[in-house]
Chain A
Amino acid sequence: MEHLHQTLSALPAQNLTVRLLKLTSQWVDDEWENVTDLATLIRKVTGETKESDLQAIGERAMRLYADPNEHYQRAVRVYRLVDDVDKLIGGASLVDQVAQRFSFLGFLDRLVPKPEKMQAVDAGAKLAAELVAFTSVNGLPGDSVSDFARSLANSAHEDRLRLVCWVVAEGVLPFGPDCVQLLIDRVGSASASDLQHSAIFGKIAPLLPGDAQALVVRTLEGIGDWAGALMKKQQLTQASVGASLRSILDVGEGSFDVLGAAIDVGTNYFEHTGTQSVARQIVKRAYGEI
Chain B
Amino acid sequence: MHRRTVTNGAGIAAFLLIALACGGMGEGATQWDQAADEIEAAEAPPPIGAIVEGSSFNAALPDDGHSGTTRVFTQEKEGYAEAEYKLDGKTVITVSVSDTRDNPSAREKFAGASATVGGYPAVEKGSNASMVLVADRFQVRASSSSLDHNARLTWLEAAHLTQLAALQPE
User: Taking beta carbons and an 8 Å cutoff, which residues of A are in contact with B?
Assistant: 1, 3-5, 13, 37-39, 46-51, 53, 55, 58-60, 62-63, 66-70, 137-140, 154, 281, 284-285, 287-290
Given the complex, which residues of A lie within 8 Å of B170, measured CB to CB?
Answer: none
B77 touches A290 (CB 8 A): no
B10 contacts partner chain A, Cβ-Cβ < 8 Å: no
- Contact (A289, B139) CB under 8 Å given A3-B36, A38-B32: yes
Given the complex, which residues of B lie within 8 Å of A13, measured CB to CB?
Answer: 2
Give the number of residues in B that approach A within 8 Å (Cβ atoms).
41
B126 touches A53 (CB 8 A): yes
Cross-interface CB contact of B36 among A62, A68, A70, A285, cutoff 8 Å: A62
Minimal Cβ-Cβ distance residue in A for B144: A47
Top 6 closest pairs, chain A to chain B, by CB = A288-B96, A139-B77, A59-B35, A139-B76, A5-B32, A48-B126
B45 contacts partner chain A, Cβ-Cβ < 8 Å: yes
B103 contacts partner chain A, Cβ-Cβ < 8 Å: yes
CA–CA, A1 and B42, complex, Å: 13
Given the complex, which residues of A lie within 8 Å of B36, measured CB to CB?
Answer: 3, 5, 62
- Contact (A289, B98) CB under 8 Å given A39-B31, A47-B145: yes
B128 touches A289 (CB 8 A): no
B80 touches A288 (CB 8 A): yes
B32 touches A53 (CB 8 A): no
A233 CB to nearest chain B CB (Å): 14
B40 touches A1 (CB 8 A): yes
B106-161 CB contacts (< 8 Å) to partner A: 106, 125-129, 139, 141, 143, 145
B166 contacts partner chain A, Cβ-Cβ < 8 Å: no
B45 touches A69 (CB 8 A): yes
B56 contacts partner chain A, Cβ-Cβ < 8 Å: no
Interface string of B44-74 (1 = CB under 8 A from A): 0101100000100000000000000000101
Given the complex, which residues of A lie within 8 Å of B78, measured CB to CB?
Answer: 69, 139
Interface string of B11-50 (1 = CB under 8 A from A): 0000000000000000000111001100110000101100
